[in-house]
Structure 1
Amino acid sequence: MDEHRITEVECLIPDMAGQARGKIVPRHKYDPAVGLRLPEAVLTMTVTGDYPEKDFTSVADGDMMLVPDATTLRPVPWAKEPTAQIIHDCYRFDGTETPLSPRAVLRRLIRLYEAEGWKPVVAPEMEFYLVQIEPDEDIPLKPPVGRTRRTEAGMQSFSIDSVNEYDDIFDVMYDWCEAQGIQLDTLIHEMGTAQMEINLDHGDPLPLADQVFLFKRTVREVAIRHNMYATFMAKPMQGQPGSAMHIHQSVLSTATGKNIFSRPDGQASDEFFHFIGGLQTYLPAATAVFAPYVNSYRRLSRFTSAPINLSWGYDNRTCGLRVPHSGPEARRVENRLAGVDVNPYLAIAVSLACGYLGMKQRIRPTEPTTGSAYEQPHQLPRHLDDAIERLTACQPLAELFGEHFLQTYSAIKEAEYQEYFDVVSPWERRFLLLHV
């Protein structure tokens, strides 16, 4: 901080929605040895800033300690004055981690893997839309104007020229991500109009979740400075595909450093099939984490090129679980269920938890699908209310994450669903007002 003449420090924690909460402190007042305090109730806020009716923290509305993770120290590239940002962990005053902290949830799952001599590896892929700025929420979103002063016509999957329409944005995005140590891999144009996809390099789950958390914030800032929005809604526009966060997962042996999904002869191992079996068994109960909002379920439809079940297959993108072509050392499972609207810490933690349960319980998967999985029955919850019920009824997940966390998360989602359900939509006014 002294070297870069930092004047302010953004002290961040990711909340349950994956938003950045915390405090901004003058550099000369920031003392990492002392730390900061924040009400624990911040971790029970809904995406609208409200709280569930039931208190899941102390009725006294007590504080938690924010302890900086020095490995997350980064500059804030868009700040006018030299500013640093640090992601903090949340602790109680008895020295234990706050169980509602999304980072603590993911760290707990990593420890379970470590206890087995395993090291999980993940690689997220994030899809998002660029859209015109529209302050009126009742007006549908539109694609932005590019450098040719026109909006995109139709869908331009994998078009290089369509990506180049927004070169000014992506040039800044790459610079800002490099400054923050966000390891970007590939940029492509996805199926939707002005829909993009960014892949991150594979690595350890916690640093990758941090990078997703910071990447979303960065892209929003870049877009606003170029007079448009970047949105990570799962289904922001009618008639357009949804946006996902696909999670590639593999597991290494901590003793050998080898991928345990492959046997020495290069063939798939029992652990590989058990991992898939665990995902197939427990992901339906965990859908409320992978589809956390009412809007998320607009994406999970056979009409939007998104998974509707948990069939698996080799290089089959119609399946919820895809195994890409690779050599034995890179054998992995791609979870295609998650929308990009997820909290990355929770989505990665729960996906790894389902695979962990599969390996521990030696669950066998179904036979791989060779045709279209869209033609197979729908296996996932169709709306948030149903997903919450399935989550609270899943005892194996409760044992991994704790009853307190699952009850709190479910109550937050119930509060959001109730608030949404009270809103009457334009469709209802248009077709029901005078016709029923």
Structure 2
Amino acid sequence: MTTLADPVPGGRPGDVERATALSGELAGRGVHGIVLAYVDTAGIGRVKTVPTAKLPSAAAWGVGMSPVFDSFLAHDSIVTTDVLGSPDGDLRLYPDLDHLVVLSGQPGWAWAPVDRITQEGEPHPGCSRTFLRRITADAEQRHGLTFRAAVEIEWAVGRGDAPGGEFEPAVSGPAYGAVRQVELSDCAADLLAALAAQGVDVDQFHPEYAAGQFEVSVGALDPVAAADRSVLVRQTVRAVAGRHGLKVSFAPAVLARGVGNGGHVHLSAWRDGTNLHSGGDGRYGMTAEAESFTAGLLARMPALTAVTAPSPASYLRLRPSQWAGVFGAWGRETREAALRVVTGTRGQRGQAANLEVKPVDLAANPYLALGCLIAAGLDGTASSASLPEEITGDPARFGEAEAAARGVRRLPVSLAEAVAAFRGDDVLRTALGPVLADAVIAVRRGEIAAVEGLDDEQVAVAYRWVY
């Protein structure tokens, strides 16, 4: 389980003693350094590292890092808000010892996610991991709800020796084809071994649709742990591929045309150990609460895309008839709808039933994405929101009048349109708080300005190796 208590100067009770013991154990296992990892507003993984011997100090007093990184863009230029973007100030990064793992894919290193507090010992209002912890803790305390979540990871494997930032697929063969699995066999086996050694529960690994594309699906955890796992899996994929002379991209669109990389989120709400998405009297076994939770997500999906699809490159992926979920609609196992209701196979539905949120990619900060999805769903349950009729097939076939009659709407077609929807959404901005909400808007506007005048191919190239 995720540590829910905020860090405090001097360390949480028992943390320093535990870190001291861990430091000796890790050193005995040949670990020389520890990666302290978090994700910024633009969705970029940022790190500091400490020697293994300094883990007790990090647990007690944290490690310094500027708050300016909350207003970094994907290409490292800086935007400002009323409180972020200044060269002033410092934050302390505190490792979550419950989620520290030895990196099998990077011998000599361990990894831990961090929470960030101010020098005065207060939670940093721009810390996305703290935000998600707060959302989940509040849901349990106020509503008696817990959640299970998982993030799918898709990536493109390129040749490490391709010239000038170009993408040349490292494998050939058709979509989902055996040829790809064979050609990547050694690297893939090392990846599965590394993930298993790191305690990552892998459900599936397979070639995907686009050129050189693969996907790994992992087991569901509490939302904070699921977001941590998403970051850890990507770190591991990149490290293992690099040791095989390969280069990977998690960018939403590696190329300007064709299917991009998704980061679909699977999410289910639970009460007292019972899955609300199964065994109820509603459609496909959903309880009334699960239907309202789904309706809450659906209502806020346009604004949510500013968080779940936060890059200009995201909108190269979000195109109709590519299973990206670009229509505000839901359906059972309908992969063209924004929300896919997954019932699971008979005999497993009590555990397996969940919602898949499709318009999500791996440019998204997973802590922000999961926190905002939960906030939107909770707003639906609080208001007993009604879930509209489901759709089947591809909504792109509907004419304008039929789509309107069915309540099916196209989600934002650009980051600018998504930001406009987000700015008008009081529920999401209130959930995030003013510092994080302003950071989301400022960073997205900065990304929009950064690609002004670029065509689709130039946008894809600009973000190809950033994520």
Q: State TM-score, norm by structure 2.
A: 0.83
Q: Contact conserved, 1:307 with 1:374, CA < 8 A, in 2?
A: no
Counterpart amino acid of 1:11?
L
Aligned residues of 1:193 and 1:240 also touching (Cα < 8 A): no
For the aligned residue pairs, the C-alpha RMSD in angstroms reads: 2.3
Q: Which residue of 2 aligns with 1:231?
A: 249
CA contact 2:257–2:316 (8 Å) conserved in 1:
no
- Please, which of 363, 373, 390 is the counterpart of residue 341 of structure 1? 363
- Partners of 1:123 and 1:196 lie apart in 2 by 17
Give yes or no for contact 1:261–1:270 (8 Å, CA) kept in 2. no
* Match of residue 139 from structure 2: 113
Q: Which of 240, 260, 266 does residue 242 from structure 1 map onto?
A: 260
Q: Is the 1:308–1:374 Cα contact (8 Å) retained in structure 2? A: no
Flag the 1:423–1:392 CA change in 2: closer, same or farther, 3 A: same
Residues 233, 341 of structure 1: 8 Å contact kept: yes
Q: Residue 8 in 1 paired to residue 28 in 2?
A: no
The match for 2:218 among 177, 181, 200 is: 200
The alpha carbon displacement at 1:424 in A equals 6.5
1:177 paired to 2:203? no
| Contact 1:290 1:339 (C-alpha < 8 Å) held by counterparts | yes
1:21 matched to 2:41: no
**2:206 counterpart residue number:** 188
| Residues in 2 aligned to 1:337 and 1:28: alpha-carbon distance in whole angstroms | 42
Aligned to 1:90: 116
Whether the 8 Å contact between 1:324 and 1:332 is mirrored in structure 2 is yes
Deviation at 1:391, TM superposition (A): 0.8
CA positional deviation for 1:59: 4.6
Out of 270, 274, 281, the position equivalent to 1:252 is 270
How far apart, in 1, do the equivalents of 2:138 and 2:71 lie? 25
**Cα distance, 1:169 vs structure 2:** 1.1
Q: Distance in 1 between matches of 2:321 and 2:163?
A: 29
State the distance in 2 between where 1:79 and 1:264 align.
46
Give the secondary structure class of the aligned counterpart of 2:154.
strand
Check if 1:123 corresponds to 2:144.
Answer: no
Partner of 2:394: 372
Instruction: Provide the secondary structure at the position in 1 that maps to 2:69.
Output: helix
Number of equivalences: 415
> Percent identity of the aligned residues?
26
SS where residue 233 of structure 1 aligns?
A: coil
Q: Which runs of 5+ in 1 are unaligned?
A: 429-436
Q: State the alpha-carbon separation in 2 of the partners of residues 183 and 17 from structure 1.
A: 27
Match of 2:417 in 1: 386
Q: 1:74 to 1:381 in 2, by over 3 A?
A: same
One-letter amino acid of the structure 2 residue matched with residue 213 of structure 1: V
Give, in whole Å, the separation in 2 of the partners of 1:49 and 1:238: 22
SS at match of 2:445: helix
1:397 corresponds to 2:410: no
Q: Are the aligned partners of 1:189 and 1:196 in contact in 2 as well (CA < 8 Å)?
A: yes
Write out per-residue CA displacement over residues 121-148 of structure 1, whole angstroms, 9 at most, x where no aligned residue. 11222221112233424x4x2211x4xx
| 1:66-105 CA distance string (max 9 Å, x none) | 122111211133445x322222210123332112112112
List runs of 5+ in structure 2 lacking aligned partners.
1-22, 404-408, 460-467
CA offsets per residue over residues 324-354 of structure 1, 9 Å max, x none? 2325513321111112322211222222222
- By percentage of residues, which structure has more helix? 2
Judging changes above 3 Å, is the alpha-carbon distance between structure 1 residues 388 and 238 closer, same or farther for their aligned structure 2 residues? closer
Question: What's the offset of the Cα at 1:240?
Answer: 2.7
Moved more, 259-268 or 326-335: 259-268
Tell me which residue corresponds to 1:156. 175
8 Å contact kept, 2:210–2:259? yes
Question: Aligned-pair distance for 1:107?
Answer: 1.2
Residue by residue, what CA displacement relative to the aligned partner does 1:194-239 show, whole Å, maximum 9, x if unpaired? Answer: 2111101012111111011011111112222222211111111244
- Give the secondary structure class of the aligned counterpart of 2:382: helix
TM-score scaled by length of structure 1: 0.89
